[in-house]
């Protein structure tokens, strides 16, 4: 797409992907981390709806397509090395980003003393209800 020629400096890795960090525009919480190829980046900028590249499914992934928990782009940032993109978004739907039912994928804290995990957030939805078999 011609209007996005300026993002040609972005360094996609040898798989054609860049890391995307998604941050809640209101709270500053990190909601999730995923990957984008050039097509998903262009689609995200064009539609203002977060569209990742699913490495496991090998296809474009409009976040919230099945759950309704879409993410609306508010601001976009590029890092110094031009190989990571940061998105500030409005989390729509049930206000949850994580397929496990939490607002953020980072719902567990690691204790640096012993490396144990503990859940530090409340579930927003029950994944069994949302992702029907």
Find out whether 104 and 30 touch, Cβ atoms under 8 Å. Answer: yes
Find out whether 12 and 37 touch, Cβ atoms under 8 Å. Answer: yes
**# chain residues binding a second copy, by CB under 8 A:** 45
Residue 121 to residue 103: CA distance in whole angstroms: 8
Site for a second copy in 34-63 (CB under 8 A): 45-46, 48
Site for a second copy in 59-88 (CB under 8 A): 73, 75-81, 84-86
Nearest approach, Cβ of 102 to a second copy (angstroms)? 7
**Cα–Cα distances in angstroms (integers) from residue 32 to residues 1, 47, 75, 101, 108, in the given order:** 27, 19, 16, 13, 13
* Residue 131 binds to a second copy (criterion: CB under 8 A): no
Interaction site with a second copy (CB under 8 A): 3-7, 19, 21, 23, 27-30, 32-33, 45-46, 48, 73, 75-81, 84-86, 98-100, 102, 105-110, 112-117, 120
């Amino acid at each position: 797409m011609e209007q996005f020629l300026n993002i040609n400096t972005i360094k996609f890795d040898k798989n054609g992907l860049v890391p995307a960090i998604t941050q809640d525009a209101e709270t500053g919480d990190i909601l999730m981390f995923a990957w984008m190829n050039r097509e998903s980046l262009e689609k995200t900028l064009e539609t203002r709806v977060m569209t990742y590249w699913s490495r496991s499914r090998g296809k474009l992934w409009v976040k919230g397509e099945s759950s309704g928990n879409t993410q609306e782009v508010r601001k976009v940032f590029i890092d110094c090395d031009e190989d990571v993109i940061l998105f500030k978004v409005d989390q729509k739907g049930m206000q949850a980003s994580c397929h496990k039912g939490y607002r953020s994928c980072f719902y567990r804290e690691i204790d640096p003393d012993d490396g144990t995990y503990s859940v530090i957030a409340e579930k927003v939805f029950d994944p069994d209800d949302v992702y029907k078999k």
